[in-house]
Amino acid sequence: MSDMKRDILQSIDPLLIGERIAEARRGRGLTQADLAQSLGVVRTTVTAMEKGVRRPRAIELARIAAILDSSARRFVEPPGTEDMPSFPIFFRRKMADHGPALARDIGTFQQMCAWYVELEGRLGEPLPRRYPPVYEIGETEPNRAADEVATSERNRLGLGDGPIADVWGLLETDIGLRLVEFPMGDTSIAGMVLFTESLGGCVAVNAKHPPARQRWTAIHEYAHFLVDRDQAEVTILRKRSRLPRSERFADAFASSFLMPAPGLIRKFGGLRRAKSEGITPSDVLALAHHYAESFDAMMIRLESLNLLPGGTREYLKERGFRPDEGKRLLGLAIEERHDIGPRRYLTLCAQAHQAGSLSEGEVAEHLGLSLVDARDAVQRILSQSDVSLDGEWVQGSLDLTTAMLPAG
């Protein structure tokens, strides 16, 4: 087996390999004992391989393929549509609580994931899984558990305590999640997450939401994936006081992971020392811009760390402060609505189009875009590589230089 095939062998879930070995063995009318005897191993070794407990070595897989009159490549191909689970089965409880719009969105999620794995197989680009073990948080208080898990994940990924430059690349490449985005029928739905052994971790985010909200949602769904992979989740935007425990954990994780306390406290302390007149809304806008987060999310985080007094955010809201107008006055770029989000699926579509295996119409269908928008998206992704929480606020006359804390 070539080095490339060995790499593919390591990237495919061993349970999927085992399921395919068992299927081929049964197709030949052989028992596990028969296969073990032909391989010269004990039956429990074959059992372990078929259950995904033991990943077969390349030479073993070649011998198994010869015995079963199959191809070693068949065992290590990326999961295809024949391996695709039925998403509505996993989301049936969520679908019972919501209208037909959610059912349609779940169908779109499944279709995009089916196309995703099909493109991976067509282009020979399997997605390696670099998942951590499931974190056991038990009955630990959600905020405390979130801080602990976020710190562990940042340490595991070598992120330090500063802003994350590319959230999408981190989740897709460094961790191995399949991320897709599309306009969902209900704007209150932020995203969804699903994990199966054959497919791996899949996340959908609502393309109708601003880029900062989409990144937050992606990390929020990752939090669910880290602690409860058996549960398919749909994130619905609610008032914070009504959030169930699992959602409070996921929101706290997103806050801790995207704005880690040590780095933020250090950055905020530097601002206070440099500002004789005290911290102002413009300083918080700059911090939010630095972390690529919304002003609202940054205010919530600063208050939770007691860096700003509780109620400061509500005070600004009552005064009619509008962050986007503040950004404009300060010359801070407001995120484009067409900011490229999850890149890998879009890149696979662009590569397939370049190779001539996807027409423009098929690219548009795969991305859920018009022909013009699909063409623009492909051009943007190819040119870049070789290959709100505050939406209801209204503008007021608050002075951006008004101190929210006395000089420290």
* Residue 389 · residue 297 · CB < 8 Å: yes
Which residue's structure tokens are 């680009």? 125
* Per-residue pLDDT tens digits for 94-118: 777 777 888 899 999 999 998 999 8
* Per-residue pLDDT tens digits for 16-67: 788 788 878 887 888 999 999 999 999 999 999 988 888 888 889 899 989 9
Is 119 a residue whose pLDDT tops 80? yes
Tell me, yes or no, whether 82 lies in a domain: no
Indicate if 147 and 218 belong to the same structural domain.
yes
**Domain CATH for 67:** 1.10.260.40
Residue-level pLDDT at 4: 43
> Residue 359 — φ and ψ, nearest 5°?
-75, 170
Average pLDDT over residues 375-402: 56
* Residue 278 · residue 400 · CB < 8 Å: no
Indicate if 166 and 244 belong to the same structural domain.
yes
Q: Angle 295-304/281-290 helices, nearest 10 degrees?
A: 100
**Domain CATH for 152:** 1.10.10
More confident residue, 109 or 80: 109
Alpha carbons 137 and 190: distance in angstroms, whole number: 24
* Residue 55 · residue 3 · CB < 8 Å: no
Indicate if 143 and 248 belong to the same structural domain.
yes
% helix, strand, coil for the chain, step of 5:
55, 5, 35
Is 263 a residue whose pLDDT tops 90? yes
Tell me, yes or no, whether 171 lies in a domain: yes
Residue-level pLDDT at 406: 64
pTM of model > 0.85:
no
Average pLDDT over residues 237-254: 86
Residue-level pLDDT at 100: 82
Residue-level pLDDT at 121: 85
Tell me, yes or no, whether 108 lies in a domain: no
Alpha carbons 280 and 405: distance in angstroms, whole number: 8
* Per-residue pLDDT tens digits for 122-175: 888 888 899 999 999 999 999 999 999 999 999 999 999 999 989 999 999 999
Residue-level pLDDT at 330: 85
Residue-level pLDDT at 387: 40
Chain mean pLDDT for the chain: 85
Residue-level pLDDT at 141: 95
Q: How many domains does the chain have?
A: 3
Last residue within a domain, chosen from 35, 56, 77: 77
Residue-level pLDDT at 84: 67
Residue-level pLDDT at 275: 80
What range defines the domain where residue 40 resides?
A: 3-77
Tell me, yes or no, whether 248 lies in a domain: yes
* Residue 174 · residue 278 · CB < 8 Å: no
Q: Where are the beta strands (DSSP E) in 49-143?
A: none
Which residue's structure tokens are 């009318």? 29
More confident residue, 273 or 135: 135
Tell me, yes or no, whether 106 lies in a domain: no
Indicate if 53 and 146 belong to the same structural domain.
no
Indicate if 348 and 238 belong to the same structural domain.
no
Tell me, yes or no, whether 28 lies in a domain: yes
Indicate if 151 and 227 belong to the same structural domain.
yes
Confidence of residue 389 (pLDDT cuts 50, 70, 90): very low
Residue-level pLDDT at 333: 66
Residue-level pLDDT at 381: 79
Residue-level pLDDT at 194: 94
Residue-level pLDDT at 407: 63
Tell me, yes or no, whether 332 lies in a domain: no
Residue-level pLDDT at 170: 95
Alpha carbons 4 and 11: distance in angstroms, whole number: 11
Last residue within a domain, chosen from 37, 58, 77: 77
Tell me, yes or no, whether 335 lies in a domain: no
* Residue 259 · residue 294 · CB < 8 Å: no
Q: How far apart are the first and last CA of the chain?
A: 65
Is 350 a residue whose pLDDT tops 50? yes
Residue-level pLDDT at 399: 58
Last residue within a domain, chosen from 77, 103, 120: 77
Residue-level pLDDT at 163: 94
Indicate if 70 and 148 belong to the same structural domain.
no
Share of the chain above pLDDT 70, in %: 87
* Residue 240 · residue 313 · CB < 8 Å: no
* Per-residue pLDDT tens digits for 193-219: 999 877 889 999 999 999 999 999 999
The residue length of the chain stands at 408
> Residue 195 — φ and ψ, nearest 5°?
-130, 130
